[in-house]
Amino acid sequence: MEGLQSVGIGYCAKHFPTLANTGNTDFDDKIIEFKMPIEQLHIAERYTPLIAHNLPAIMMSHVVFTGSCSPDTTNPASLSKDWINMLRNDLGFQGLIITDGVGALSLKAFTHSNTIRESMAKATLQAYKAGVDLVLGGAETYQTLRNAVLRCEIPIEQVRASAKRIKAFHERFPTFKPSINQDLKAQLETEAKSLYKDITGQNIQDN
């Protein structure tokens, strides 16, 4: 953490509360469950020290935690108001809360969607309603959020609070611009032009 902070690179802890070898939420076309008692995760012991060291962001897990003492046995943690309330209220985390990628096949199964696009829209809306600050998606997620705000499904105060956290993150971690090896850059550009000519029979500047 200190190394990343020292060079201005933003980072997050993931996946809250865990993935715990439950399966691949991105590629398994089924709901991924964690059935063991939640106390076995030692959540406070693992996350309290990170939060105390000013952890800037946490990514939520798409796993559904069905074991005893789970605050929500129905929804994936990434879409769960109860799990997010645990982060905010019980653990005192005030940084950015981010979803994992909402194009995950496990969410497609959870939302009973026919397409990934449909699933992304449903998951995005539920995640924002649950209280996340950022959804890891694309243009579809933006449009879903915009429409939800216009329909008053998500309070504008919540959007402003999230925007404030996002702004604070960017101010803490300004854009990282690593130094560029000019010789390597020239070599890669030459190789790219050569590959383009091999494929198309033309020079790049001819197009």
Residues 101 and 197 in one domain: no
At 162, list the tokens: 């999230």
Residues 137 and 196 in one domain: no
CATH assignment of the domain containing 45: 3.20.20.300
Q: Do the beta carbons of residue 103 and residue 25 sit within 8 Å?
A: no
Residues 123 and 206 in one domain: no
Residues 105 and 206 in one domain: no
Q: What total number of domains does the chain contain?
A: 2
Mean pLDDT of the 32-37 span: 91
Does residue 157 have a pLDDT over 60? yes
Q: What is the pTM of this model?
A: 0.80
| Per-residue pLDDT, 22 | 67
Residues 55 and 73 in one domain: yes
Contacts of 170 (CB under 8 A, 6+ apart): none
Residues 185 and 155 in one domain: no
Q: Render pLDDT for 95-145 as a digit per residue (tens, 0 to 9).
A: 999 999 999 999 999 999 999 999 999 999 999 999 999 999 887 788 888
Residues 187 and 154 in one domain: no
Q: Do the beta carbons of residue 69 and residue 39 sit within 8 Å?
A: yes
Tell me the residue range of the domain where 68 lies: 2-176
Mean pLDDT of the 174-196 span: 67
Q: Which residues of 103-133 are buried (b: 16+ CB within 10 A; e: fewer)?
A: bbbbbbbbbebeeeeebbbbbbbbbbebbbb
Residues 54 and 81 in one domain: yes
Q: Do the beta carbons of residue 127 and residue 107 sit within 8 Å?
A: no
Residues 124 and 194 in one domain: no
Residues 186 and 153 in one domain: no
Residues 154 and 74 in one domain: yes
d(CA 24, CA 164): 32
Does residue 60 have a pLDDT over 70? yes
Residues 53 and 92 in one domain: yes
| Per-residue pLDDT, 135 | 94
